[in-house]
Amino acid sequence: MSPSLPTPALDRIIIILVEPRDPSNIGGVVRAMMNMGLQRLRLVNPLVYSPERVEAAAHRSAIFREGIEVYDDLPSALADANLVVAASARRRRLAPRGGTPRQLAPILLDHTRTGSPAILFGREDWGLPNEVVDQAHYQLSIPTDPAYPSLNLAQAVLLTAYELRQAAVAETGEAAMLLDSDDPPATEAEFTAALDSLHTVLQVAGFYKPGQEPAKRLKLGRLLRRAQPTSSETGLLRAIGYVLGKHVHPEEQPSGDREDAGAKAPDLPARA
């Protein structure tokens, strides 16, 4: 039994809309988030962003709208996230671990203890691309009637936010784990840097056979995401990739990697 989580935990959860098409739908999402006490909304490459149309769908949202952040690309919007959950109803052969909003809410809230987890929602017509879902820690699916499974964007956000709020205000919860605040979960930027370091040395070593590299890169990323490495652990992985690269045809390493690494392996956090 874990202690109840205060509703301010919801303030750390980031909702990210990837390429939203209709400002009215953005307004519907704003209204849903305000209903359930979520505060952080990020838009990635919106087709149109109209504060007036957002206000028409979500009255008295001026203060909320001031906090909306707009990004040109998804990696930038995810750089500080310590957990990535992708909302998608499509089943995939190599999908990340899945769960409903109710099942994933305790995990998301537990990650607010040490950082900011993010939930991704895709564009209204196509949803999230496969390559985005593939890189998430979890895939969130809302159980609907198979005969009519489609939800609009605001409905999906509302149902997810509702479960988050219920879990946050509950007297008791089912937190998935207690996180170590001295070594928090890796941010997406830290994880990506570590994975790139390993991919570089594996590529130089000839591990990837012709035609097999995309699938193997995906599987390696999924394996490491399941481990949910901490900040210092991703620093360790990045250093491993660099040091191994020095012993495997260093002259064949991409020049960018050598410049980034400098004359020595990346420094590990002191706690490592």
Structural contact between residues 194 and 235, judged by C-beta atoms closer than 8 angstroms: yes
Per-residue pLDDT reduced to its tens digit, 197-229: 888 888 888 888 888 888 888 888 888 888 888
Among residues 99, 193, 176, the alpha carbon closest in space to that of 137 is found at 99
Q: How many CA atoms lie within 13 A of 156 on its CB side?
A: 24
- pLDDT (0 to 100) of residue 227: 85
Average pLDDT over residues 78-94: 89
Contacts of 105 (CB under 8 A, 6+ apart): 163, 164, 166, 167, 168
Residue 124 and residue 164 in one domain: yes
Residue 196 and residue 102 in one domain: no
Angle between helices 188-204 and 213-227 (to 10 degrees): 140
Residue 156 and residue 210 in one domain: no
Residue 25 and residue 146 in one domain: yes
Q: Find the domain containing 217 and state its range.
A: 188-261
Residue 26 and residue 112 in one domain: yes
In a domain, 272, yes or no: no
How sure is the predictor about 272, in pLDDT bands with cuts at 50, 70 and 90? very low
Contacts of 82 (CB under 8 A, 6+ apart): 111, 114, 115, 116, 117, 184, 185, 186, 187, 188
- pLDDT (0 to 100) of residue 268: 47
pTM, rounded to two decimals: 0.70
In a domain, 269, yes or no: no
The CA-CA-CA angle for residues 172, 174, 176, to 5°, reads 145
**How many structural domains is the chain composed of?**
2
Largest distance between two CA atoms of the chain: 61
In a domain, 1, yes or no: no
- pLDDT (0 to 100) of residue 212: 83
In a domain, 152, yes or no: yes
Average pLDDT over residues 251-265: 46
Residue 124 and residue 15 in one domain: yes
- Residue where the block lists tokens 């203890």: 113
Q: State percent of the chain over pLDDT 70.
A: 84
Residue 81 and residue 144 in one domain: yes
Residue 211 and residue 163 in one domain: no
In a domain, 49, yes or no: yes
Residue 161 and residue 26 in one domain: yes
- Residue 116 belongs to domain with CATH number: 3.40.1280.10
271 or 193: which leads in pLDDT: 193
Residue 240 and residue 110 in one domain: no
How sure is the predictor about 65, in pLDDT bands with cuts at 50, 70 and 90? very high
- pLDDT (0 to 100) of residue 176: 38
- pLDDT (0 to 100) of residue 242: 83
Q: How many CA atoms lie within 13 A of 21 on its CB side?
A: 9
Query: What is the DSSP secondary structure assignment for residue 229, as one 8-state letter?
Result: -
Annotate 59-77 with three-state secondary structure. Answer: CCCHHHHHCCEEECCHHHH
Residue 132 and residue 219 in one domain: no
Among residues 68, 167, 183, the alpha carbon closest in space to that of 108 is found at 167
Structural contact between residues 61 and 91, judged by C-beta atoms closer than 8 angstroms: no
In a domain, 266, yes or no: no
In a domain, 268, yes or no: no
Instruction: From 142, 169, 196, give the residue that closes a domain.
Output: 169
- pLDDT (0 to 100) of residue 213: 85
